[in-house]
Amino acid sequence: MLERFRVPPAEAVRVPYEALCQTVTEIFVACGVPSQEAAAGADVLATADLRGVESHGVSNSLRYYVSAFRAGDLNPRPCWTIDRETAGTATIDGDRGLGVLQGTAAMQLAIDKARRAGVGVVTMRNSGHLGAVGHFAMQAADQDMVGVCLTSTSPQVLPTFGAVPRFGTNPISFAAPAKREPVLFYDAATSTIATNKIGLARRVGAPLAPGWIADPAGTPVMAEGPVPEGEGVRMSGHQLLPLGSTREMGSHKGYGLALMVEVMTTMLAGSIPTMIDDVRPMAHHYFAAYDVAAFTDLDAFKETMDQMLQTLAATPPAPGHDRVIYPGLIEHETAIERRANGIPLHREVVAWFDSCTEELGLVRLERL
Amino acid sequence: MLERFRVPPAEAVRVPYEALCQTVTEIFVACGVPSQEAAAGADVLATADLRGVESHGVSNSLRYYVSAFRAGDLNPRPCWTIDRETAGTATIDGDRGLGVLQGTAAMQLAIDKARRAGVGVVTMRNSGHLGAVGHFAMQAADQDMVGVCLTSTSPQVLPTFGAVPRFGTNPISFAAPAKREPVLFYDAATSTIATNKIGLARRVGAPLAPGWIADPAGTPVMAEGPVPEGEGVRMSGHQLLPLGSTREMGSHKGYGLALMVEVMTTMLAGSIPTMIDDVRPMAHHYFAAYDVAAFTDLDAFKETMDQMLQTLAATPPAPGHDRVIYPGLIEHETAIERRANGIPLHREVVAWFDSCTEELGLVRLERL
């Protein structure tokens, strides 16, 4: 997370991780979600905040989930069905459930399949927002597997040279187990930035960097500037660019990766990409687990992982930089600090919690 | 392929695709390679040139393969062994063979496994350069599967904020079948550009674009400039940057993807990343096939693919651009033109062929 997205200390209210989990669980239950799924989903959101991934924590997403449950757009008690299944794969109809609440069980199915077939792949259609997809990749790493999780959503990212968005931010996440080092853990949109960063930048008053968005005609904006007019994550007419920003810098690569995610999540789940049919847009997900022990010696793998992560962190830095980090290291350090000192939420977010719990007749969110 | 890399017409000698396959096959056989593998490898290289992927065709690679066989660095008649195997996976020791010659059989093993387990994943260590990895992803698409192929090589790409290279260009490729449209086919390095583009730019006298390389201290070079001093693909002290170029533009994403490829190829193959141990650097590969019919209806998948590809190609273009393309479309169009008119090789490349065939006592490469 870039510094520009941090909640300014004067605006921050610190809350304990456990209290955040508790309140979010109660909010989901009040929306009609069974308590086990509610707790799993609360962990997905609160863990994102714990790791410093504010863009995918409670601040941007929870209010929309609550609205969607109350409007009947999401099903709080989905009964998923498996369309097709083999030793290593399953295709699931998510019955309009919320991905955040369904992902843990879907990744566990992939993990269980990988125990037998070496690799397990589960796709899911007709589901809602999945939250921080890296959470589910980490679930596999916690069980000595390499995990990969992908999701796709409604169009807001331009293809290279295009003026109309065709893709969601279609993130790629993966995680792999180590022995003593903090887990290797990657989770990033295939666009230059995740959609929720727009909402965050607007809230904290941060500018957008060169190459992040295109103007309404589709031309990349290559100068720093304020978030365009709009509300929340929406920007009137402007769109996100694929990773690489311009063709010369490699935007065709970000575009191609977004397309790969679209195929793996939507089409392998037997669904229609939202660029073709967005009448009833749902998200589509992909969960994969690779059983390390099926490929090689597990202990040797973890030892080598430790060595590789140490080698990366020991890389001599370029001028102007203190150190080289690897994906997951900052998140690990942030989680330690926030477990001790609480999670800093923007006071506007805490105010939303208070109005939400009051309306639902729940106990107010605890603060430190 | 950017226009800057095209062979200037005045320097080009056109050769027929079949003649190129024939001569390359004979060169491999003269190096001691069995004829079936030689023909498979010649197809990998000549097809890259046919599709306009000069960076991975005969011009950059073949002379190094010939040198490596003659120096004993590569084994022309490897006998691969399977270390571990499950219903959906296999880990192979490539016995110091050349990846270009081994990839077809490895991907076929992944495809055969996917027919039974829904998904098949094969990793290979102790092998040489794999060439254009997309070739093997296409092999899966030709058999109604989604194909993914990855490879990793010796360090030449910096991690974000780093001054010492830790990764190869670690490309990601995938392909997926369509019904009537040209196949969706993506193949790109996780660095801003592929290593071989350096050699190409040097040969055709093209400048390097902003954000492609870092100076010897590790600072991204954000202005256009000539290829730094060096020979072939090597640049004295300068290194490649991960996709995204700078942290603000998203280089941590390219870095993370390179790391994912390193884990999937090297570590899941039971090997040691070259950033730790480059005493005897070999390449490492990953081949995955997803049986579309295991996940969903194959015919519906292909119909939807056609619709998606048509939707992408029909995207209104941004100012200054004629059209939006999708990965594989230009390659398809180029292949049609080159099948008809021959493949344009740089005259310096043809001169190398002539000296090579003369030295090996083979028939001279045919030209149009």
Distances (CA, A) of A40 to A52, A105, A138, B122, B305: 19, 9, 14, 33, 35
Cβ within 8 Å, pair A276-B172: no
Nearest CB to A118 within list B89, B259, B264: B89
Cβ distance B49 to B20 under 8 Å? Answer: yes
pLDDT band at B19 (very low <50, low <70, confident <90, very high): very high
Task: Quick: pLDDT tens for B279-300.
Answer: 666 899 999 999 999 999 999 9
Q: Which of B117, B159, B273 is nearest residue A86 as measured by Cβ atoms? A: B117
Strands in B153-297 per DSSP E = 172-176, 184-188, 213-214, 239-240, 283-291
CB contact under 8 A, B174 and A218: no
Measured between beta carbons, the chain B residues lying within 8 angstroms of A168 are none
Q: Tell me the average pLDDT across B256-266.
A: 98
Q: Do B214 and A318 touch (CB under 8 A)?
A: yes
Q: Distance from B33 to chain A by nearest Cα, in Å?
A: 29
Q: Confidence band (pLDDT; 50, 70, 90) for B237? A: confident
Reported as a single tens digit per residue, the pLDDT across B179-230 is 999 999 999 999 998 887 887 788 778 899 899 999 999 999 999 999 988 8
| Residue in this structure with the two tokens 């071989």, named with its chain if needed | B196
Question: Which residues, at least 6 apart from B144, have a Cβ–Cβ distance to it below 8 Å?
Answer: B177, B291, B292, B293, B298
Are A273 and B161 a contacting pair at CB < 8 A? no
Higher-pLDDT residue of B308 and B205 is: B308
Name the residue in chain B with its Cα closest to that of A211: B249
- Residues whose CB falls within 8 Å of the CB of residue B284, separated by 6 or more in sequence, listed in order: B123, B124, B125, B127, B151, B152, B265, B266, B269, B271
Question: Shortest CB distance from B84 goes to which of A161, A262, A296?
Answer: A296
| Portion 48-77 of A in contact with B at CB < 8 A | none
Average pLDDT over chain B, rounded to an integer? 94
Inform me whether the pLDDT recorded for B96 exceeds 90: yes
Query: Under 8 Å CB-to-CB from B273, ≥6 apart: which residues?
Result: A304, A308, A311, B152, B262, B266, B267
Pick from B161, B192, B240, B298 the residue to mutate for testing the A interface (most A CBs within 10 Å): B161
**Nearest of A215, A74, A184, A350 to residue B259 by alpha carbon:** A184
Model pLDDT, residue B280: 65
Residues 221-280, chain B, touching A (beta carbon < 8 A): 243-245, 247-250, 252-257, 259-260, 262-264, 267-270, 272-273, 275-276
**Yes or no, beta carbons of B218 and A319 under 8 Å apart:** yes
Q: Which one of B116, B119, B311 makes the best mutation probe of the A interface by having the most chain A beta carbons within 10 Å?
A: B119
The string of DSSP letters for A208-260 reads BPTTSEE-TTS-B--S-BPPPS-STT--SS-EEPBTTSSTTTTHHHHHHHHHH
Is the Cβ pair B253, A188 closer than 8 Å? Answer: yes
Of B214, B248, B321, the CB nearest to A209: B248
DSSP B253-268: HHHHHHHHHHIIIIIT
Rounded mean pLDDT, B319-323: 97
In the prediction, which pLDDT does A55 show? 77
- pLDDT band at residue A5 under the 50/70/90 scheme: low
Segment B77-90 mean pLDDT: 97
Confidence band, pLDDT 50/70/90 cuts, at residue A283 = very high
A326 vs B259: CB contact, 8 Å cut-off? Answer: yes
Pairwise CA distance, residues A335 & A332, whole Å:
5
pLDDT given at position A96: 96
Which pTM value belongs to this model? 0.96
Chain B from 336 to 365: CB within 8 A of any A CB: none
User: Is the predicted pLDDT of residue A1 greater than 70, yes or no?
Assistant: no
| Nearest CB partner across the interface for B268, out of A244, A275, A296 | A296
> Amino acid identity of A188?
A
Q: Which chain A residues are closer than 8 Å to B323 by Cβ?
A: 161
Q: What is the chain A residue with the closest CA to B296?
A: A270
Give the gap in angstroms from C-alpha B153 to the nearest C-alpha of chain A: 15
Please give the pLDDT value at position A19.
Answer: 97
Which chain B positions have a beta carbon within 8 Å of A265's beta carbon?
none
- Helical ranges in B205-250 per DSSP H: none
Nearest CA distance, B140 vs chain A (angstrom): 15
The pLDDT score that the predictor gives to residue A4 is 60
Q: Residue B268's closest chain A neighbor by CA?
A: A295
Q: Choose the closest CB to A318 out of B189, B217, B311.
A: B217
Residues 105-164 of B with CB under 8 A from A: 116-121, 123, 146, 158-164
Contact list in A for residue B249 (CB cut-off 8 A) is 192, 209-211, 245, 249
Tell me how many residue pairs between chain A and chain B have CB atoms under 8 A apart.
300
Q: Check whether B259 has a pLDDT greater than 70.
A: yes
Task: Please give the average per-residue pLDDT across A248-268, as a whole number.
Answer: 97
Neighbouring-strand partners of residue B147: B175, B289
- B356 alpha carbon, distance to own chain's centre: 23
Of B217, B275, B294, Cβ closest to residue A319? B217
**Residues on chain A touching B268 (C-beta within 8 angstroms):** 146, 290, 292, 295-296
CA dist A186 and B8 (Å) reads 42
**Considering CB atoms only, which of B209, B270, B319 is closest to A248?**
B209
ipTM here:
0.95
